[in-house]
Structure 1
Amino acid sequence: MIKLLPGVLLFLLWAYCLVDAIVSDQARVRYLPKWAWIVIVLLFPLVGSIAWLVAGRPATAQRLSRERGGAPGFPEYERPGRLAASDPAKDEEFLRQVRARAEEQRRRYEAERRRKAELEGRAGAEGEGDETPEGAPGS
C-alpha cells in the first residue's frame, strides 16, 4: 500500500497540473504558449508538472498586486494591465470638467423640479375654482 503512495501522488499532481493548464486563460499563461505547457505536462509528468506550477501557471491577482505595488484589497487596482495616471495636469483638468458637468446637471434637475412644482401648484389652484357646489344651477 505504501509503495503505491508515490505513484498516486504523482498521478494526482499530474492530473491537477494538466487540468489547470487546460482551463487557464491563454493570455495569462506565462513564458510559453498554453499548448506548449500542456504538451510538457503530458510528456514529462513530474518535471512538467513542477515547471507548470513554478513558471507557467498564471499569476494570482494578489501576487500581481504585490509585484506591481498595487493597493491590496481593491480588485480594480489589481487588474492586470491597469495603467497609473501619468499626467497630473490632465487628471486635474478631467476632474474639473467632471465637476462642472455634475454641477450643470444638478442645476438643470433643480430647475426642472421647481418648474414641475409650479405647474402642479397652478393646476391645483385652477382646479379648486372649477368645482361647483352641489345644488347650484348647472350641476
Structure 2
Amino acid sequence: MLRYLPFLLVLALWIYAFIDCLNTPEEEVRGLPKVVWVLVILLFGEVLVGPVAWIAVGRARRGTAGAAPGRGRRGGWTAPDDNPEFLDSLRADNKQAEQLLQDREADLRRRENELRRRESGEDAT
C-alpha cells in the first residue's frame, strides 16, 4: 500500500490544482491566461511542475485586502475578529449588558437602602 502513496499524492495535487484553476475567476489568475494555466497543469501534472507552478504563481493570494466588510476576497466567510460588522454588534451587545448591569446595581442599592431604613425604623420603636 505504501508504494502507491507517492502516486496518490501526485494525483491528489494534480486534481486539486486543476479544479482550483477551473474555479478561479479569470480576473484573479496571474501570469498567464487561464486557458494556458489549464494546459500547463494538464501537460506537466505528472512531474508536479504544472500544479506547483499554479499554486505558487498562477492563482491570486487568498487575503482579505480590498474585500467588502464581512466578506473574504472571493465573497466567502471571514473570521469574526476580522469582520467589522460582527465587532460592532459585539460592542452594541456589550453596551446593552453594561446598561442592564448598571440598572440592576442601582436597584440593588435602592433595595439595600430601603432595607436599612426599615431595620433602623424597627429598632427605634
TM-score (norm 1): 0.46
1:23 aligned partner, one-letter code: N
Corresponding residue for residue 35 of structure 2: 35
Corresponding residue for residue 15 of structure 1: 15
* Distance (Å, rounded) in 2 between the aligned partners of 1:61 and 1:4: 35
Please tell me the root mean square deviation across aligned C-alpha atoms, in Å: 2.5
Once the two structures are TM-superposed, the CA of residue 60 in structure 1 deviates from its matched residue by 1.6
The CA deviation string for residues 109-132 of structure 1, in whole angstroms up to 9 with x for no partner, is xxxxxxxxxxxxxxxxxxxxxxxx
Once the two structures are TM-superposed, the CA of residue 49 in structure 1 deviates from its matched residue by 0.3
* Distance (Å, rounded) in 2 between the aligned partners of 1:60 and 1:73: 14
Percent pairwise identity: 37
Q: How does 1:62-81 map to 2 (within 5 A)?
A: 62=64, 65=65, 74=69
* Distance (Å, rounded) in 1 between the aligned partners of 2:60 and 2:70: 17
Computing the radius of gyration from Cα coordinates, the structure with the larger value is 1
TM-score (norm 2): 0.51
| Structure 2 unaligned residues grouped into runs of 5+ | 74-125
* Distance (Å, rounded) in 2 between the aligned partners of 1:73 and 1:42: 34
| Structure 1 unaligned residues grouped into runs of 5+ | 80-139
Runs of 4+ residues deviating >2 angstroms:
72-76
* Distance (Å, rounded) in 1 between the aligned partners of 2:69 and 2:22: 28
* Distance (Å, rounded) in 2 between the aligned partners of 1:13 and 1:38: 14
Once the two structures are TM-superposed, the CA of residue 57 in structure 1 deviates from its matched residue by 1.1
Shift in alpha-carbon separation, 1:73–1:22, aligned structure 2, 3 A: closer
Once the two structures are TM-superposed, the CA of residue 61 in structure 1 deviates from its matched residue by 3.4
Shift in alpha-carbon separation, 1:60–1:5, aligned structure 2, 3 A: same
* Distance (Å, rounded) in 1 between the aligned partners of 2:58 and 2:70: 23
1:49 aligns with 2:51: yes
Q: How many residues align?
A: 72
